[in-house]
Structure 1
Amino acid sequence: MPINIEMPKLSDTMTEGTLVNWRKQVGDEVEIGDIIAEIETDKATMEMEAFDEGTITEIRVEEGTKAPVGAVLAVLAEEDEEVSDSAPAEKSNESAEESKPAKESEKEESSASESPAPVPVADDGTRLRVSPLARKIAAEKGVDLKTISGSGPSGRIVAKDVEAAEAAPAKSSTPAASSESAPAASPAPQGILPSVGPDDKVVPLSSMRKIIADRLLTSKVTIPHFYLHVECDAAPLMALRKQINAQTADTGGNKYTVNDFIVKAMINAAQEVPAVNAAYNGDSIVEFANVGVSVAIAVEDGLVTPVVKDAQNKSLLTISQEIKDMAARARDKKLKPSEFDGGTITISNLGAWGVEGFDAIVNPPQAAIVSVGGIIEKAVSVNGEIKSGLRMNLGLSCDHRVIDGAVAATFLNAVKKFVEQPTLMLV
């Protein structure tokens, strides 16, 4: 019997996903373990493996379309099933309504109030390829489908094409309708421009960007932030790093970054001041036994924070290798959902972009995030003499429900101690 390929739940917080890319098409044979699609979740874009084998007979969700967890994405025929030479027409699953059984949808079509808009035709009389949801949205918003170029398979018009066309003002030579007959415009959401110009670019939010927006807004609104900064003497760290990297270059070993040392300093400081390695839990505060460092990594469509787990038990070499590996796989969209779990404190480093210092937003449910600025050469006073020195700004953003100012200062100064005396991290 046919096997439904469903939207998997790829993370504990995932409720829907976006089908970014089909790796297999109708008629392709699939074996267990094959990568059949790429799914964008609330944390990253991940590859979806096949858990059954057979031939794809139907694709129900188009590329670029969102679907809830458990929705049928495609249909697979087992090897002993007879597969028709002409593959079934692709069925859009762009909304929950369109995933209903065929008989139910036939009943809906008999009702004028629920039936989709008539299938449109182009000026030359040919039938336009339009998904049912796109027809429905176009009918509701008064969008002329003949003016839209489809981005779906074989030029099919899908919902996002209609929404993009509706967002951009239509160009027409006909006189504008009178204000009496025109419907009242809905007020623009606060903070959004009331109109979009023809030359403006409208970029739909990815699932990742939506989650980032929601979580950061929640963080700023619900968490009472406070911020601390210290300036560190980075010269000893840079000297030690140069010495170690020169030695590893001769042996083909690991090359260490400044960020590797800062992460190790954070881990050691969190062990000295465990009250920072904590989270607010309603009527209690949880101080974690293990240190999980969430490392902020910039990717094409946002920011991901994979975790170095049980970091207090790992050497500087292991930490450096893990971060390099995660950063590479993050940019290639190869991270696994489990690699985002277990974070207890976050580091965000913008030093490579020439930023001297900044205040980061707490990454809930954690209570602290360390912000790292670039290493700047500047004039400093040493024993009453002005000399050239290397200075680095370290910041700490805290959840005041969990961490008090004195505790935060103790932790930040512990990080500073390890940065200025980096050999202590090698003991």
Structure 2
Amino acid sequence: MSIEIKMPALSPTMEEGTLAKWLVKEGDTVKAGDLMAEIETDKATMEFEAVDEGTIAKILVAEGTDGVKVGTAIAILAGEGEDASAVEAPKVEAPKAEAPKEEPKAAAPAPAPAEPAKPAPAPAASGDRVKASPLARRIAAEKGVELSAVQGSGPGGRIVKADVEDAKPGAAPAPKAAEAPAAAAGAPAPAAAPASVWYDESIPHEEEKLSNIRKTIARRLTEAKQTIPHIYLTVDVQLDALLKLRGQLNKSLEGRGVKLSVNDMLIKALAVALMQVPKCNVTYAGDKLIKYSRTDISVAVSTPTGLITPIIRDAANIGLASISTQMKELAERAKEGKLKPEEYQGGTASISNMGMYGIKQFDAVINPPQATILAVGAGEKRPYIVDDALGVATVMSATGSFDHRAVDGADGAELMKVFKALVESPFGLLA
């Protein structure tokens, strides 16, 4: 008996995903545990394994298809002894490229019996609206062209300038109240169509489709800046003692395949500091405050598809060598899009280090629902007061961003003070 292979939920928050790549083809035999596909969720690209044994009879969803809802049949598996070629795909209603619901405006005035709303041969309909560039919308509005009757030649059927320049005016004049007046004036598209952003199409350019990960980053960062009152606190930290200790530790670790980085030691310092100042190791939850008794540090890692934050669990209570080994493995798999959900979901506070890019100081955006993130700049030689005398020291600037709903300024300042002390007297990291 044939089995429907359905789009899996690969994370607790996943509602839909992109079928990035098929690793099998029709006619292939698979058994439980075989890799079948790579699926891009809102967090990472993950491998999907077969659960049953059989032959791939039909692939129902082509690779590269995005917006595939969890539970949607993506392939048919023929069971043992079943003729795969005789298996029929289930009858699934294809999403209709219906005339966009956004445009009942044309029917509202309904002047002359203009050509009935043509079903648009797969026009640029996406969801409930026409896919068209802002410039194309403006030209269409000026010429009285009905966008739902225009075939788009842009990516994904998007209507672009050239498509409307030669189009004949439709029956409905450019709607005034219903159609966004801002678009007719060449201003950004209205809130009803947030995906349309005005830009000058005359400038040579190309369009790149956003990955699910990039969409999630955009949504979460917008949410964080709009809803979380940030407070920023910066300290200058002398690194010479930490750099000396790092050199000594790395000598002792030779031959063990471990090489500590400055970032490994800063992760440990932040974790220990949070244990000493637990008022910053919290989450604001409306009418209550979640206070964590463990420090799980989310570490920002840049990947080809965007930023992701793998987590070092209980970082205050594990050794520097363990932090280094875990961080190296997690960063490598993050860049390959192979992290498991439990490896990047959660965390009690975050650290973001841009020192390797020569960035001196920056303010990081809080990673909700956490209340604390530490932004670390580059260590550099600076004039510095050492033992009451002006000298030269290796100094870095570190800025803590705190959710002011959960963390008072004095508590954030205490955390930064403790962090500075731990880095400048780093033997406390070995306890």
Q: Give the TM interval when normalised to the shorter protein.
A: 0.7 to 0.9
Q: How many matched pairs?
A: 384
How far residue 193 of structure 1 moved from its aligned partner, in angstroms, is 1.9
Unpaired segments ≥5 residues, structure 1:
99-112, 121-131, 149-159
Secondary structure, counterpart of 1:259 in structure 2: helix
How far residue 342 of structure 1 moved from its aligned partner, in angstroms, is 3.2
Q: Which residue of structure 2 lines up, in the alignment, with residue 13 of structure 1?
A: 13
- Map Cα deviations across residues 209-257 of structure 1 (whole Å, 9 max, x no partner): 11111111111111111100000001111111122223333x2431011
Question: Does residue 1:228 correspond to 2:223, yes or no?
Answer: no
Q: Which residue of structure 2 lines up, in the alignment, with residue 239 of structure 1?
A: 244
Q: Which residue of structure 1 lines up, in the alignment, with residue 424 of structure 2?
A: 420
Q: Which residue of structure 2 lines up, in the alignment, with residue 46 of structure 1?
A: 46
Contact 1:295 1:307 in 2 (8 A): yes
One-letter amino acid matched to 2:366: V
Contact 1:32 1:51 in 2 (8 A): yes
Q: Which residue of structure 2 lines up, in the alignment, with residue 32 of structure 1?
A: 32
- Map Cα deviations across residues 376-421 of structure 1 (whole Å, 9 max, x no partner): 1122233454322100111100011110011001111111111101
If the length of structure 1 is used for normalisation, what is the TM-score? 0.81
Question: Does residue 1:71 correspond to 2:35, yes or no?
Answer: no
Q: Which residue of structure 2 lines up, in the alignment, with residue 283 of structure 1?
A: 287
Give matches, 1:179-328, under 5 Å.
183=174, 186=180, 187=183, 188-189=189-190, 192-197=197-202, 199-249=204-254, 251-328=255-332
CA distance in structure 1 between the partners assigned to 2:93 and 2:321 by the alignment: 47
More displaced stretch, 184-193 vs 69-78: 184-193
Provide the identity percentage.
40
One-letter amino acid matched to 1:233: Q
Q: Which residue of structure 1 lines up, in the alignment, with residue 156 of structure 2?
A: 161
- Map Cα deviations across residues 139-163 of structure 1 (whole Å, 9 max, x no partner): 9755557x67xxxxxxxxxxx6323
Question: Does residue 1:355 correspond to 2:350, yes or no?
Answer: no
- Map Cα deviations across residues 72-93 of structure 1 (whole Å, 9 max, x no partner): 11111112211228x8789999
Q: 1:53 to 1:179 in 2, by over 3 A?
A: closer
How far residue 24 of structure 1 moved from its aligned partner, in angstroms, is 1.0
CA distance in structure 1 between the partners assigned to 2:338 and 2:92 by the alignment: 27
How far residue 169 of structure 1 moved from its aligned partner, in angstroms, is 3.2
One-letter amino acid matched to 1:226: I
CA distance in structure 2 between the partners assigned to 1:96 and 1:316 by the alignment: 56
Contact 1:362 1:369 in 2 (8 A): yes
One-letter amino acid matched to 2:228: I
One-letter amino acid matched to 1:74: A
One-letter amino acid matched to 2:34: D
Structure 1 segments (4+ residues) deviating >4 Å: 87-98, 113-120, 136-145, 174-186
Question: Does residue 1:343 correspond to 2:347, yes or no?
Answer: yes
How far residue 374 of structure 1 moved from its aligned partner, in angstroms, is 0.7
Contact 1:67 1:93 in 2 (8 A): no
Give matches, 1:165-176, under 5 Å.
166=159, 168-170=160-162, 175=166
How far residue 118 of structure 1 moved from its aligned partner, in angstroms, is 6.4
How far residue 37 of structure 1 moved from its aligned partner, in angstroms, is 0.7
Q: 1:183 to 1:64 in 2, by over 3 A?
A: farther
Question: Does residue 1:396 correspond to 2:400, yes or no?
Answer: yes
Contact 1:67 1:94 in 2 (8 A): no
Unpaired segments ≥5 residues, structure 2:
99-115, 133-145, 184-188
CA distance in structure 1 between the partners assigned to 2:93 and 2:292 by the alignment: 43
CA distance in structure 2 between the partners assigned to 1:240 and 1:232 by the alignment: 15
Contact 1:60 1:90 in 2 (8 A): no
Contact 1:232 1:391 in 2 (8 A): yes
The RMSD of aligned alpha carbons is 3.4
